Amino acid sequence: MHHPHEHRFLDAHALARALAGEIQVDLQEAIAARGTASMVVSGGRTPVTLFNQLAGETLPWDKVWITLADERWVDAHDAASNERLVRTELLQQRAAAAQFVSLKNAAETPEAGVEWAWRSLARMARPFDVVLLGMGDDGHTASLFPNSPHLTQALDTSKPPACVAMQAPVPPQQRLSLNLTALLDARRIVLHIQGEGKWSVYQTAKQRGAVELMPIRAVLHQQDVPVDVFWSP
């Protein structure tokens, strides 16, 4: 079986420099091969240093398409919006030329917006070249939360790739997420985590156990897509 490749760094800046360099190569190779590159990123505080580093990398950014692994169902100007984070921290400097595809749309609820969101993503080349995931202390990734009402369907890899409406245990509770099939439609997955607490959660998730209790296990224990884990204190 594939085991995740683990990369440990002394600090967030060293990690960001190394990972941004690797992503730059991945995207460059994709553009050389098919004229376009696609990347899925995650929100939260962890990727900010990486986003700032990546924004300065030399690439034909106008050929790079970026979307999110998940989004909070809030206005794109809201402080809780993942899109706002990406626009503020990643789509700057050279990366300002990249194409960004929003998950949030005009629908009232994520349930009403899932089809629209997935159709928007049809413009992006798949498999995605890089899928950049984070992980919560509860073992969630994207907005695939333990014991969430729609989790079983969202983790069912017999389902086609799609966007799914999810409930978070904390506000803003309404979320939209890529399902597991969509996240695994990738050439490469990177799990980016920070801090001793997250390393410990990751060690637990590496053990066999209920995927419903720690959805990140579904990513770590699959055989189809290589996974790299990047950690710093």
**Residue ranges of domains in the chain, CATH in brackets:** 22-232 (3.40.50.1360)
Q: Strands, DSSP E only, in the chain?
A: 5-8, 37-41, 64-68, 70-72, 99-100, 130-133, 163-167, 174-178, 189-194, 227-232
Sheet holding 163-167, edge to edge: 70-72, 174-178, 163-167
Enumerate the β-bridge partners of residue 6.
229
Task: Provide DSSP, 11-62.
Answer: SHHHHHHHHHHHHHHHHHHHHHHHS-EEEEE--SSTTHHHHHHHTTS-S-GG
Question: Which residue pairs from 194-197 have beta carbons closer than 8 angstroms and sit at least 24 positions apart in sequence?
Answer: 194/12, 194/46, 194/231, 194/232, 194/233, 195/233, 196/233, 197/137
User: What is residue 4's predicted lDDT score, i.e. its pLDDT?
Assistant: 95
User: What is residue 43's predicted lDDT score, i.e. its pLDDT?
Assistant: 96
User: What is residue 2's predicted lDDT score, i.e. its pLDDT?
Assistant: 67
Q: Which residues of the chain have pLDDT under 50?
A: none
Of 28, 60, 37, 40, the C-alpha closest to 192 is: 40
User: What is residue 3's predicted lDDT score, i.e. its pLDDT?
Assistant: 84
